[in-house]
Amino acid sequence: MDVTDVTDKIINVEEVGIAYQSRPVLEKVSFSVAAGECFGIIGPNGSGKSTLLKLISGVEKPSTGRVLLHGKDAHGYPRKPLARWAAVLQQDALPPLGFTVREVISMGRYPFQNWLGDEAGAVNSEQLIDDIIDRLELRQLQHRSMDALSGGERQRVALGKVMAQQPKLLLLDEPTTYLDIGYQVQMMDWIRSWQRDSGLTVVAVLHELNLAAQYCGRLLLLQDGRVAGIGKPEDVLRSELLEDVYRTQPIVLKHPVAGVPQILLQSGDGR
């Protein structure tokens, strides 16, 4: 099991396993995530990354072991109360086309509304929406229909929607997969800024290893549903380990500015 010197654990995953139609997807996965961390989950396609995120979010129930959120079984949380402090940002989970940008971001307040759509409490939701729109540079787009937006703009709106939930825990399921490199960095910068300003805890499934190294303090590497490595980026992104897991020979260099490992690929014939 992963050991860290931070005692305030939001997530505890203990010997978790899950199988679909008798086919194991995850086996004996254990780790913990402390409050305020940015924790990355990486691994090849089919290694169980998204399934693990579903277990953490409580959408799926493990076949063996347990997933605890603040000491309580994740699958046991009622959906609406859980959504008041935990949010999931997926690759493309926006509502049907036809809604405006502002309407979609406002949907993030649903967990706090009664059946009439009213909110109790001190939060000025309209001011909150305005602040998010300004922070994500969406002011000029706020009344535009979602079907008129580019992929990068849509993902920015999706981030705004989860920001409106004001979560303490944010789960990211490959949020940059369909974005070009400029939007990838912009998206992760916004998330890191939000994390630092609010003490947000982030668990991110990331396909791009270089982004994972730059934005995550610790990484969990999955291989065939099992933990192949866990620790700081420099402990996990080692050429010999990556070669074993990804079946390729990467070149691992240190980033000249950030100092974290970065991956260069080479052709199979070495040329």
Tokens, residue 58: 């409580």
Over range 216-226, report the average pLDDT.
97
Over range 139-151, report the average pLDDT.
91
12 and 46 co-located in one domain: yes
Over range 240-248, report the average pLDDT.
94
105 and 7 co-located in one domain: no
The answer as to whether 257 is a domain residue is: no
Please provide the average confidence, as pLDDT, over all residues in the chain: 90
What are residue 150's phi and psi, to 5 degrees? -80, 170
180 and 222 co-located in one domain: yes
Q: Is 70 exceeded by the pLDDT of residue 120?
A: no
The answer as to whether 109 is a domain residue is: yes
CATH assignment at residue 232: 3.40.50.300
**Residue 7: pLDDT band by 50, 70, 90 thresholds?**
very low
If one counts the domains in the chain, the total is: 2
Number of neighbours of residue 215 by Cβ within 10 angstroms: 24
Q: Is 70 exceeded by the pLDDT of residue 122?
A: no
28 and 74 co-located in one domain: yes
pLDDT score of 124: 82
Distance between CA atoms of 9 and 11, rounded to whole angstroms? 6
116 and 138 co-located in one domain: yes
Reference 56, options 68, 48, 71; nearest CA is 68
pLDDT score of 160: 94
Quote the domain boundaries for residue 150.
101-163
Q: Is 60 exceeded by the pLDDT of residue 5?
A: no
Which is it for strands 251-254 and 261-264: parallel, antiparallel or unpaired? antiparallel
72 and 111 co-located in one domain: no
Q: Is 80 exceeded by the pLDDT of residue 123?
A: no
pLDDT score of 95: 62
pLDDT score of 116: 65
Q: What percentage of the chain's residues is helix, strand, coil (to nearest 5)? A: 35, 30, 35
Distance between CA atoms of 66 and 15, rounded to whole angstroms? 7
Across 87-96, 116-125, 213-222, 252-261, least confident range? 116-125
pLDDT score of 108: 92
DSSP 39-88: EEEE-STTSSHHHHHHHHHTSS--SEEEEEETTEEGGGS-HHHHHTTEEE
pLDDT score of 72: 93
The answer as to whether 263 is a domain residue is: no
Distance between CA atoms of 255 and 264, rounded to whole angstroms? 11
Q: Is 60 exceeded by the pLDDT of residue 34?
A: yes
pLDDT score of 256: 93
Over range 66-84, report the average pLDDT.
92
Decide: residue 93, CB within 10 A, 0-12 exposed, 13-18 middle, 19+ buried.
Answer: exposed
pLDDT score of 6: 38
Tokens, residue 5: 């010197």
The answer as to whether 231 is a domain residue is: yes
The answer as to whether 4 is a domain residue is: yes
Over range 45-74, report the average pLDDT.
95
Helices then strands, each counted (H, E), the chain: 9, 12
Over range 46-69, report the average pLDDT.
95
The answer as to whether 41 is a domain residue is: yes
151-194: pLDDT as tens digits: 888 889 999 999 999 999 999 999 887 788 888 999 999 999 99
Q: Looking up tokens 């405006």, which residue turns up?
A: 100
66 and 13 co-located in one domain: yes
